[in-house]
Amino acid sequence: MDEKRLLEVKDLKVHFFTDDGVVKAVDGVSFHIDKGETLAVVGESGSGKSVTSLAIMRLIPNPPGRIVGGEMLFRGKDGQVKDLVKQDEASMRKIRGNDIAMIFQEPMTSLNPVYTVGDQIAEAIMLHQGKSRKEALELSAEMLDLVGIPEPRKRLSNYPHQMSGGMRQRVMIAMALSCNPSLLIADEPTTALDVTIQAQILELMYKLQEEIGMSILFITHNLGVVAEMADRVVVMYAGRAVEEADVTATFKRSKHPYTMGLLNSVPRLDLAAEHRQRLEAIPGNVPNPLHLPAGCAFHPRCKYFQEGRCNTDIPELQDTGGGHMVRCVRWAEIQSELEVKA
Amino acid sequence: MSMPTPTAVATSLVEVQNLKKWFPIRGGILSRVVANVKAVNDVSFDVKRGEVLGLVGESGSGKTTVGRTVLRLIEPTSGTIRFDGHDITHLPKPQLRAYRRKMQIIFQDPFASLNPRMTVGDIIAEPLVIHNLEGSAQARTERVAELLQMVGLNPDHIRRYPHEFSGGQRQRIGIARALAVRPEFIVADEPVSALDVSIQAQVVNLLQDLKEQLGLTILFIAHDLAVVEYISDRIAVMYLGKVMELASSKDLYRSPKHPYTEALLSAIPVPDPTVKRERIVLQGDIPSPINPPSGCVFRTRCRYAIKECAEVVPELREVAPGHFKACIRDDIL
């Protein structure tokens, strides 16, 4: 694996074996994250973005879920490259929290209500760094200070319910960063928060990344957040990556009809009212994962659909130049069609 | 894009004056009122006929309580609510029913607001039964089919149950139910926040079309300023139970006059990586509505706050034609 690579996911497949059939939640997803980089994975509900992040942590509930194929090469703090798919539970325990940490959407349900905030942060430090409880609590206070919680020493003895949503998310971040992970997975970390609090948390994550230098895998459906946080973007639809590019290319020169549709369906505050048109909604619904459409899963909702080409074979992810990957058989034609229009 | 309807005299359909809703907190063995949650604290506004008034605010701002109090789903503590010129604040239930037909609500969560044991047809027909409209069962069924068509659903799905529909489709069912009794006024309480981005646009467009088609007046409540700005003619910004600013959506976005609106606008991430803006990050959290700050409730997080802000409660006053703000400082923004 390349020196600067931290994680390389190759052809990951996560399937859920339910009574109604097999749900291919993630079906052949590949991407990589470099050291210090922020990669955003964007998608709507059912796209497989959260399952991807849980798979990296090896937290897929089994049964019914199972990683049925692929590789996840990860460079640990010791410099060794391991395939996360092949690690046993004992080895994963050493990696979780220590090398890879995760923060979740709902800061209330991901903290234990019957333990103090201090105890919860200290737990990971004692486990991974072999520190005494006293040392660990001291470090916990430093972490709370780092994430901008006032009077950190006093706050150690607080219970989660004594804190606001924004504060709890800060505690989650403190806990996640307490062991200096090289990868932070943030699964919709600001979705449950108000915009002014979201702005605080995003600023904090940005600042901490500058200071600590960890890589971030940012899972979100909010395109505004992506534009502000990400270096590169992977767009997912129905269990597959449909487009991958750097952040500017994603927003300015998107090539997949789904990405274009997604960008057009967001109301934009920054466009003057006079220039605004009716929102261009993507028709139809996200497909049922048990009965995915044949060929390109997006074809029933796509305005560039062509009979016999889009609904026969699953398109390959193609490199269109400069690492801009697109999974669409018609991307080049659509591109020239759009150029003619412009 | 909907523009303010140019009527000779823009008449108000709904007028709210000095509305207060305090929820008592009881304590001790005698269950005496020990404190009040001042969810809505002296709010006044009006919704003109045919207009969409947006109500934005963060959690705890009181926007949902305002919406429900206007419909008398929650009884106000004080203040007056007028519908079409009639004071309905203290109207007893039987008389209120006639107004209930004219005022309907669309809820946020399309999963929790539909009874899972009822068919879609029964859900949409229920208000017709309650209000004794469309007499025969046959007429009701026809009306339901017409409504399903109107909101973009297949009329053949009349016998299906809510679980057979996706989130966006369920929200359409909620809209059809609200429209069944041909209301004049609709409170839409976060109608798109539970939906995926691509579906959200469908529902926003649908609401806009229905508004035009049926001449509806809408109070659109949401926390997402971008969506509210898109659909509304005017917007009221709430913070901690009070209206901070009220203006046309264009003015509010172009030249916000209240420091809170300014911060709120700058906090919204723009989906364009080439736009770099100065972001005003508000410090701290929204204070408790049990014990709000003295004077201006926003002063504890305001970057322009001065000594006087703690002393006087700023009134909502007109600072430009149709542009109101509740801030004592005129030397800023």
Residue B72 has pLDDT above 90, yes or no: yes
Task: Calculate Rg over the CA atoms of chain A.
Answer: 21
Per-residue model confidence (pLDDT) at position B6: 43
**Domains of chain A, start order:** 1-36+43-88+226-270+278-321 (3.40.50.300)
Q: How confident is the model at residue B8 (pLDDT cuts 50, 70, 90)?
A: very low
CA distance B100 to B87: 14
- pLDDT by 10s per residue, chain A, length 342: 888 999 999 999 999 999 989 999 999 999 999 999 999 999 988 899 999 999 999 999 988 999 999 999 999 988 899 999 999 999 999 999 899 999 988 777 889 999 999 999 999 899 888 899 999 999 999 999 888 888 899 999 999 998 888 888 889 999 999 888 999 999 998 888 888 888 888 988 998 899 888 999 999 999 999 999 999 999 999 999 999 999 999 999 999 999 999 999 988 887 755 556 688 889 988 888 888 999 999 999 999 999 999 999 899 999 998 889 999 999 999 999 998 988
Per-residue model confidence (pLDDT) at position B162: 93
In 3D space, the residue among B212, B249, B247 whose CA is nearest the CA of residue B229 turns out to be: B249
Of A271 and B151, more confident: B151
The SS3 call for residue A189 is coil
DSSP at A136: H
Per the CB < 8 A criterion, the answer to whether A264 and A71 are in contact is: no
The reply to whether residue B269 touches residue A222, judged by beta carbons under 8 angstroms, is yes
* Average pLDDT value over all residues in chain B: 91
Per-residue model confidence (pLDDT) at position B10: 67
Element (H, E) at B320: strand B317-320
**What is the CATH code for B12-102+184-197+213-325?**
3.40.50.300
- A230, A265, A273: residue with CB nearest B198: A265
CA–CA distances in Å: residue B246 to residues A88, A304, B18, B238, B242? 59, 43, 15, 9, 11
The reply to whether residue B285 touches residue A166, judged by beta carbons under 8 angstroms, is yes
Does the interface ipTM go beyond 0.90? no
The SS3 call for residue A200 is helix
Residue B159 has pLDDT above 90, yes or no: yes
Per-residue model confidence (pLDDT) at position B60: 85
The reply to whether residue B197 touches residue A166, judged by beta carbons under 8 angstroms, is no
- A44, A166, A276: residue with CB nearest B196: A44
Span B98-142, pLDDT tens digits: 999 999 999 988 888 999 999 999 999 999 999 988 778 899 999
Per-residue model confidence (pLDDT) at position A273: 57
CA distance B203 to B192: 7
Element (H, E) at A122: helix A117-129
* Phi, psi of A162, deg, nearest 5: -85, 0
Residue A261 makes CB contacts below 8 A (sequence gap 6+) with: A280, A282, A301, A303, B198
The answer to whether the bond into A64 is cis (omega within 30° of 0) is yes
On chain A, the residues whose CB falls within 8 A of the CB of B199 are 44, 281, 285-286
Buried b (16+ CB within 10 A) or exposed e, A126-148: bbbeeeeeeebbebbbebbebbb
**AA identity, residue A325:** M
Per the CB < 8 A criterion, the answer to whether B81 and B88 are in contact is: yes
CA distance B309 to B263: 18
In 3D space, the residue among B181, B41, B53 whose CA is nearest the CA of residue B124 turns out to be: B181
The reply to whether residue A197 touches residue B225, judged by beta carbons under 8 angstroms, is no
The reply to whether residue B197 touches residue A223, judged by beta carbons under 8 angstroms, is yes
Of B123 and B333, more confident: B123
B61 C-beta neighbours (distance < 10 Å), count: 26
CA distance A213 to A180: 9
Residue A294 makes CB contacts below 8 A (sequence gap 6+) with: A311, A312
- A265, A269, A277: residue with CB nearest B197: A265
Q: Chain B residues contacting A, CB < 8 Å?
A: 1, 58-59, 166-169, 196-202, 204-205, 208, 223, 225-227, 229-230, 249-250, 253, 263-275, 279, 281-283, 285-286
A63 C-beta neighbours (distance < 10 Å), count: 9
- B58, B198, B286: residue with CB nearest A282: B198
Altogether, the residues listed in chain A come to a count of 342
Place of tokens 């549709």: A261
Residue B1 has pLDDT above 70, yes or no: no
On chain B, the residues whose CB falls within 8 A of the CB of A199 are 266-267, 269, 279, 281-282
* Phi, psi of B228, deg, nearest 5: -60, -45
Candidates A20, A196, A233, A258: best to mutate against B (most CBs of B within 10 A) is A196
Task: Count Cβ atoms within 10 A of the Cβ of residue A2 and give its class: 0-12 exposed, 13-18 middle, 19 or more buried.
Answer: exposed
The reply to whether residue B226 touches residue A167, judged by beta carbons under 8 angstroms, is no
DSSP at B288: P
Break chain B down into helix, strand, coil percent, rounded to 5.
Answer: 35, 25, 45
On chain B, the residues whose CB falls within 8 A of the CB of A195 are 58, 223, 225, 264, 267-268
What is the spatial order of strands in the sheet that B86-87 belongs to? B32-48, B12-27, B78-83, B86-87
Span B25-49, pLDDT tens digits: 998 888 898 899 999 999 999 999 9
CA distance A266 to A285: 16
On chain B, the residues whose CB falls within 8 A of the CB of A202 are 269
Residue B19 has pLDDT above 60, yes or no: yes
Candidates A266, A286, A291: best to mutate against B (most CBs of B within 10 A) is A266
* Structural domain boundaries in chain B: 12-102+184-197+213-325, 113-182
CA distance A37 to A50: 19
In 3D space, the residue among B101, B63, B106, B118 whose CA is nearest the CA of residue B264 turns out to be: B63
The reply to whether residue B271 touches residue A248, judged by beta carbons under 8 angstroms, is no
Per-residue model confidence (pLDDT) at position B198: 85
In 3D space, the residue among A200, A147, A198, A210 whose CA is nearest the CA of residue A173 turns out to be: A147
Candidates B63, B165, B197: best to mutate against A (most CBs of A within 10 A) is B197
